[in-house]
Structure 1
Amino acid sequence: MSSPCDPQNAPVGDVGAALLMIDSRLKSIHDGKTEIDPEQQELINQFARSLGPRGANDVLDGACTLIYMFMTWLRKAHEEHDKDVIEYVVPNLVATMRRMPKSISPEAVPTMAGLVVAAGTGLSPNLWRKQYGDWTKAEMTPLEATAFLLAEQINRITEDPDFATRMVSEALTNSDGR
């Protein structure tokens, strides 16, 4: 029986723009920058304003698609070692988010954990979330952080700081050729 949260029913969104934002954050962290460069933040804000409501929703859907792709990769990697992805990914994600109270409110943590569990069990994270209503402004930073933290976990597992970005870029390139 098909679920209303089946990924085939979900919009893919603007994965390229979402990936660009996540990759930018990954690179700044790996360059040793713990604070967001105000100039870079202004460029991101300017880009977000230029998207308009439809474009912003597409980037939001793209971020959820990234979470789904990252969790699919993590699930397969954990299954190769007879481990449950939920057991190994969610507690670390929640613990990390709880240590980020300036960026992620405690109220957003369960929603982001739910997104990750949905994706880890083969459901669309954006369709799972939408069943509870519209996204809130307060969930935007936690959503970005969730995608970032999953990408960073993949990069640590592979010992390659660009693996997650490259994986998605290659998937996008291969899908364009069909």
Structure 2
Amino acid sequence: MSSSCDPEYAPAGDVGGALMVIDSRLKAIYDGKVDPDPEQRLLMDQYLASLGPGGAQDLLDGACTLIYMFMTWLRKAHEDHDKDVIEYVVPNLVATMRTMPRSVRPEAIPTMAAMVIAAGTGLSPSLWRRQYGEWTDEEMNPLEATAFLLAEHINRITGDRDYATRMITNALSSAEQD
């Protein structure tokens, strides 16, 4: 049975831009920088400011697409070991978010967990969220943190710091060729 939240109905958004944001955060953390480099932060702020309202929505949809793609990969990886992705990924994600009160306010955690569960069950995070209203400014950091944490989780599982980024880049490249 088809759902109004099926990914085929969802806008992909600016996946490349969203991936750039997540990849820069991953590299900063892997380089031991807890706080973003001021120059890097300025460049990112300038990029985000240049997007305008339509571009910001595209970036938001791109982040949701990343979350969907990351959860699809994680679901398949867990199924290969007869494990449930929701059981193994969501509690870890929630526990990590709880340790990040400056980036992820406690009231945003249930929304992020539900969005990840939606993606893990094959629904579009973007369309799932739209059922409950527009994104709020307070949800932007948690959304970014969710995509970041899923990418970092994939990198940790594979033992490769660039795996999640490379996986998406390869998917984008093959989509362009088709």
- Counterparts of residues 84-163 of structure 1 (less than 5 Å): 84-163=84-163
* Match of residue 48 from structure 1: 48
| Structure 2 residue 30 is matched with structure 1 residue 30 | yes
1:172, distance to aligned residue in structure 2 (A): 0.2
Aligned-residue sequence identity (percent) comes to 72
Question: Quick one: distance in 2 between partners of 1:101 and 1:30?
Answer: 21
What is the SS of the residue equivalent to 1:135? coil
1:157, distance to aligned residue in structure 2 (A): 0.5
1:22, distance to aligned residue in structure 2 (A): 0.3
Question: Quick one: distance in 2 between partners of 1:103 and 1:65?
Answer: 21
Match of 2:155, as an amino acid? N
Moved over 6 A (4+): none
Deviations 1:53-94 (A, max 9, x none): 000100000000000000000000000000000000000000
Question: Quick one: distance in 2 between partners of 1:177 and 1:69?
Answer: 19
* Match of residue 18 from structure 2: 18
1:25, distance to aligned residue in structure 2 (A): 0.3
* Match of residue 78 from structure 1: 78
Q: How many residues align?
A: 178
What is the SS of the residue equivalent to 1:102? coil
Question: Quick one: distance in 1 between partners of 2:22 and 2:102?
Answer: 19
Question: Quick one: distance in 2 between partners of 1:106 and 1:127?
Answer: 23
Question: Quick one: distance in 2 between partners of 1:103 and 1:22?
Answer: 14
1:3, distance to aligned residue in structure 2 (A): 0.5
What is the SS of the residue equivalent to 2:106? coil
Question: Quick one: distance in 1 between partners of 2:114 and 2:105?
Answer: 15
* Match of residue 69 from structure 2: 69
* Structure 2 portions without partners, runs of 5+: none
Question: Quick one: distance in 2 between partners of 1:58 and 1:140?
Answer: 13
1:37, distance to aligned residue in structure 2 (A): 1.5
What is the SS of the residue equivalent to 1:156? helix
TM-score in terms of structure 1 length: 0.99
TM-score in terms of structure 2 length: 0.99
